[in-house]
Amino acid sequence: MKYQRKKIRKIGDLIRICLLQVIILGCVISHICVLAVHISNENRYSYGLIGEFVDDVGRDVNESVDEWMKDATSRFAEYLEKLEHLNNEYVEDIVRVNPDLLSEMNIVDSNGIIKYSSVPEYVGFDMASGEQSAEFMCLLNGEDYYQQDIRGNSYDESIRMLYAGKAFSDGSGFVEIGITEEKFFEGMSEILSSVVKNRRIGLTGCLMIVDGNMDIIGSSGEMYNGRKFDAPGILPDDDGADKQSKTKLFGQKCYIVATKSSEFYIVGCYPVSEARRNYLIDRLLIFLMNAAIFSAVFLVLSFVLKRHVVHGIENINASLSRITEGDLEEKADVRTSLEFGELSDGINDTVDRLKTLIAEAESRIDEELETAKSIQRDSLPKVGDAFRKRTDFGLYASMDTAKLVGGDFYDFYFLPGDILAVTIADVSDKGIPAAMFMMRAKSILKGLAEEGLSIDRLVTEANKSLWENNEGDMFVTVWMGFIELETGKVRYVHAGHTCPVRFNKDGAELVKQKRELLVGGMPDAAYHEQEMTLKPGDTLLLYTDGVTEAVDRNKEEFGYDRLLELLSGMPDRDEDTDPSGYCQMVCERVHEEVMSFAEGEPQADDITMLCVRYEGKRGR
């Protein structure tokens, strides 16, 4: 049974293809998962990055603002403490000459009442009475400095001011200075613009500081300085928490984090395109790593599968195909796993069982063949000692069968008129059919001879008979002769058989006259009688091609020449040997010679011989 290898793939290839599909699918899924996580992390990472910058700037802004106010307040407190006399006009003057720093100045006594002020209406105002101003009372309780955020003051909510206060060192009260929102932003913008001027997020990301009026007072590289901030929606509410967003800012889509620090908004933006670019490289690396890992997994898995499964199957298959080709000694021996071990054992057991069955069947067939052989042998006339008493002629015949049942036969019998009929024949096949055909041929020939037919008619009729129900499927080569014992005249038909040898003490020759067609091969073949005369002392050897076609180990045939040489050198019968004994000796010598020529090569064909020694009247 042969599979069409083009249509059905090998299991190794199938497994590899399946594995490859699974691995590719796994690789894609894994990559998608990693990518999804990575994309969601891109937001987190970007916001984190911006957040740090924004927080840094926020702290710097806080510090700058606090420092600026504290510095200004401390300087005024120090200056005022040195003065001996103080009045409202003087305080007004101080405010007037420091327009950038001051919008308002109040001197508060140790009871919390405004003593002097640049705004005359404020004089006498009790600081503890207003919510905003009351916060400064801490300066009378040991605090040295206090600063507020911008808000409306206690006197008039519409006046938005930034207040800071410092206690006098002698405990006589404190000074409170105030600066209007506009002046504060104006003053701070110069200071704060430097905070972000040289800072950047990544390569193209930008930091900016926006004041309460939505003016951009500082930006990375002073890119946006002086412009209005056009997206107030992204700024945090007053609760102070950072606000993250991803939106367009100045025409570019950015990740944005905004925070509020001391009245200013710190905005950090990081263009999405740059973030993408950075992460693209990461993603490429992740993809390559993914591909490398899955390739490695594929290689390892296919190696393992090949080693443990495919090799096993291939080995088992190889063993099986050797077994199906007829090598029953082959053992399947794959022990890489329990399953393959069991499979191997199963195959070996099956083959062993098969061998036993075959051996049983063989021995049964052998027995039958042996029986067939013996039936065949028994059908041939016995040589025995029947002719030992005849001195006018001698006869001996032998058949050494090859292993198979053959189709050779010899026959001899007397016919009326002191005629000895001798036949040697060879059926063109071996085995039981040939043996049966041989029996048929033998009985037809003998039957017709006993009916008294002349030898040529006899063979012609036998040919017709054997053709029927056979039609040339089998044929038989025949040499058949009627020997007149009185005269030594031999009438014979030579139908496709090997040429007999006639020899005497002077030499040997092939009886090689007209040879006619073998018997049973053609329906209307006609056979002709031929004649020769044996002289007393002549011996005629009939044989089958088992003699001449016996081969030695070089495949050389024994051949006619060796046979003629052997027979021409054969010693003549001595007085002590009866003619049949002489014939026996001839047959045995030829057999020996053929056997020693073949030197143990297996005998391919039956070796059949029939030897007739003619003595004629001489012997009587």
Partner 1 sequence: MLSIDYTENGADAKLALEGRLDANTSKDLKTKVGEIPESILNIDMDISKLEYTSSAGLRVVLQLHNQLNQRGGKLVISHPNEVISEVFEDTGLSDCLNIVR
Nearer to partner 1, 400 or 516 (CB): 516
How many C-beta atoms surround the C-beta of residue 517 within 10 A? 15
Instruction: For residue 323, give both structure tokens.
Output: 């077994």
Instruction: Name the minimum Å distance from CB 428 to partner 1.
Output: 4
CA neighbours within 13 Å on the CB side: how many for 396?
A: 19
Sheet holding 607-614, edge to edge: 393-400, 607-614, 538-543, 501-504, 507-510
Instruction: Name the minimum Å distance from CB 401 to partner 1.
Output: 16
Torsion region of 146: left, alpha or beta (phi above 0 gives left; psi -120 to 50 gives alpha):
beta
Nearer to partner 1, 177 or 474 (CB): 474
Instruction: Name the minimum Å distance from CB 471 to partner 1.
Output: 7
Q: Which stretch binds partner 1 (CB under 8 A): 287-295, 321-329, 441-449, 493-501?
A: 493-501
Chain CA centroid to CA 404, Å: 50
Nearer to partner 1, 172 or 513 (CB): 513
Residue the block writes with tokens 């890992």? 293
Nearer to partner 1, 30 or 428 (CB): 428
Nearer to partner 1, 457 or 515 (CB): 515
Say how many residues make up the chain: 620
Binding test (CB under 8 A) with partner 1, winner from 410, 475, 558, 582: 475
Rounded to whole angstroms, the Cα distance separating 499 from 75 reads: 153
Nearer to partner 1, 334 or 518 (CB): 518
List of residues 6+ apart from 244 with CB closer than 8 A: 47, 51, 255, 256, 257
Chain CA centroid to CA 114, Å: 96
Instruction: Name the minimum Å distance from CB 553 to partner 1.
Output: 17
Is 550 within 8 Å of 607 (Cβ atoms)? yes
Instruction: Name the minimum Å distance from CB 451 to partner 1.
Output: 25
Nearer to partner 1, 119 or 525 (CB): 525
Rounded to whole angstroms, the Cα distance separating 177 from 114 reads: 12
Nearer to partner 1, 158 or 469 (CB): 469
How many C-beta atoms surround the C-beta of residue 96 within 10 A? 10
Instruction: Name the minimum Å distance from CB 548 to partner 1.
Output: 10
Instruction: Name the minimum Å distance from CB 474 to partner 1.
Output: 7
Residue-wise DSSP of 231-271: -GGGS--TT---EEEEEEETTEEEEEEEEEETTEEEEEEEE
Write out the binding residues for partner 1, residues 245-304 only, by CB under 8 A. none
Rounded to whole angstroms, the Cα distance separating 193 from 226 reads: 10
Rounded to whole angstroms, the Cα distance separating 404 from 605 reads: 8
Say whether residue 470 binds partner 1 (CB under 8 A). no
Nearer to partner 1, 134 or 522 (CB): 522
- 496-525 footprint of partner 1 as x/- string (CB under 8 A): xxxx---------------xxxx--xx--x
State the amino acid at position 492 in one-letter form: Y
Instruction: Name the minimum Å distance from CB 547 to partner 1.
Output: 13
Q: Is 332 exposed, middle or buried (0-12, 13-18, 19+ CB in 10 A)?
A: buried
Say whether residue 472 binds partner 1 (CB under 8 A). yes
Best CA proximity match to 12, nearest among 268, 403, 274, 317: 317
Rounded to whole angstroms, the Cα distance separating 105 from 163 reads: 9
Write out the binding residues for partner 1, residues 415-444 only, by CB under 8 A. 426, 428-430
Strand partners, 216: 210
Say whether residue 124 binds partner 1 (CB under 8 A). no
Nearer to partner 1, 426 or 593 (CB): 426
Instruction: For residue 164, give both structure tokens.
Output: 């800071």
Instruction: Name the minimum Å distance from CB 2 to partner 1.
Output: 18
Q: Which stretch binds partner 1 (CB under 8 A): 188-196, 214-222, 413-421, 495-503?
A: 495-503
Say whether residue 550 binds partner 1 (CB under 8 A). no
Nearer to partner 1, 278 or 470 (CB): 470
Chain CA centroid to CA 364, Å: 48
Nearer to partner 1, 419 or 493 (CB): 493
Instruction: For residue 536, give both structure tokens.
Output: 């007393």
- 157-186 footprint of partner 1 as x/- string (CB under 8 A): ------------------------------
Nearer to partner 1, 396 or 437 (CB): 437
Question: What Rg, from alpha-carbon coordinates, does the chain have?
Answer: 66
List of residues 6+ apart from 517 with CB closer than 8 A: 495, 496, 525, 527
Say whether residue 473 binds partner 1 (CB under 8 A). yes
Binding test (CB under 8 A) with partner 1, winner from 474, 550, 587, 609: 474
State the amino acid at position 445 in one-letter form: L
Q: Which stretch binds partner 1 (CB under 8 A): 22-30, 197-205, 489-497, 573-581?
A: 489-497
Instruction: Name the minimum Å distance from CB 332 to partner 1.
Output: 29
Phi, psi of 49 (to 5 degrees): -60, -50
- 383-422 footprint of partner 1 as x/- string (CB under 8 A): ----------------------------------------
CA neighbours within 13 Å on the CB side: how many for 321?
A: 8
Q: Which stretch binds partner 1 (CB under 8 A): 82-90, 290-298, 364-372, 490-498?
A: 490-498
Instruction: Name the minimum Å distance from CB 506 to partner 1.
Output: 26
Say whether residue 495 binds partner 1 (CB under 8 A). yes
Say whether residue 477 binds partner 1 (CB under 8 A). yes
Question: Number of residues in contact with partner 1, rule: CB under 8 A?
Answer: 23
Angle (nearest 5°) at CA 72 between 66 and 74: 95
Instruction: Name the minimum Å distance from CB 514 to partner 1.
Output: 9
Instruction: For residue 98, give both structure tokens.
Output: 């420091």
Say whether residue 471 binds partner 1 (CB under 8 A). yes
Is 256 within 8 Å of 238 (Cβ atoms)? no
Nearer to partner 1, 272 or 466 (CB): 466
Nearer to partner 1, 311 or 464 (CB): 464
Residue the block writes with tokens 């040499």? 479
Q: Which residues of this chain interact with partner 1, rule CB under 8 A?
A: 426, 428-430, 471-475, 477, 494-499, 515-518, 521-522, 525
